[in-house]
Amino acid sequence: MAQFAVDKIIEMYCIADDFCKELSKEIEKHQIFPNDGKRHRNRSFAMSNAEIITLMICFHYGSFRNLKYFYLLKKTY
């Protein structure tokens, strides 16, 4: 299993966060909002997209078969 140092995980998170910020700017430029008179919710998630991307990178570099074992092993640290 690949072990990442904390500074490498922070570096991956910063890169993913920068990517997500640029991507959201581009999506907002080209987004078409529905004009159907209904109110649409725009809730923020509990985790940011950058956090999810960082977790998935760590998961794929490990030798885990599913997210359950990844979560259980990471909780023990």
Say if 1 falls within a structural domain. no
Cβ pair 12, 54 in contact under 8 A:
yes
Tell me: pLDDT of 1 over 50. no
Boundaries of domain holding 28 = 6-75
Say if 55 falls within a structural domain. yes
Percent over 90 (pLDDT), the chain: 31
Task: Tell me if residue 34 falls in helix, strand or coil.
Answer: coil
Say if 57 falls within a structural domain. yes
Task: Output the pTM of the full model.
Answer: 0.71
Say if 60 falls within a structural domain. yes
- Interatomic CA distance for residues 62 and 70, integer angstroms: 8
Which range, 1-5, 10-14, 37-41, 43-47, has the best average confidence (pLDDT)? 10-14
How many folded domains does the chain comprise? 1
Say if 13 falls within a structural domain. yes
Please state the rounded mean pLDDT for residues 31-45. 74
Please state the rounded mean pLDDT for residues 17-35. 88
Which tens digits make up the pLDDT trace of 55-76? 899 888 877 888 888 878 765 5
